[in-house]
Structure 1
């Protein structure tokens, strides 16, 4: 329970901050809703996909391999992402 408490929703401030940085405050609620809905869809697909892989192969080896590959790809994508605000956001704040 204590470990879960330190990790539960740990990405909320990070995602919210990135949304504000990239798009400003005007559409924050809508974009946050889309971002966190996509988290829930990913959670569903991960749980369902893991079960499907187990039913097909009798173990979770492929599921773990795919999870690591997807995590690494997401990390690389995040590290190379342009985090500068759009030109429109820069003009609005000037």
Structure 2
């Protein structure tokens, strides 16, 4: 997140990819994050990581990569409003 705040979207992507992989391998930790990590977030860390990767690509002007990740979010979390809204914005920008 520090890299995103600095506008360094390209270098942030590998960190989010690592986070996604980690929580895929340790799905139980993501599922029970509210107990082990005191996280009250509605979204799991895998879901957050995918959204962040897509956001980074969109900020880099790489809309097709962003769309791909937002579609992956929706494939895994069909009710993700953030990905749905982002896809609508990306589609609108196509004009």
Same fold (TM over 0.5): no
Q: TM-score, normalised by structure 1?
A: 0.28
Structure of higher RCO (CA pairs closer than 8 Å, 6+ residues apart): 1
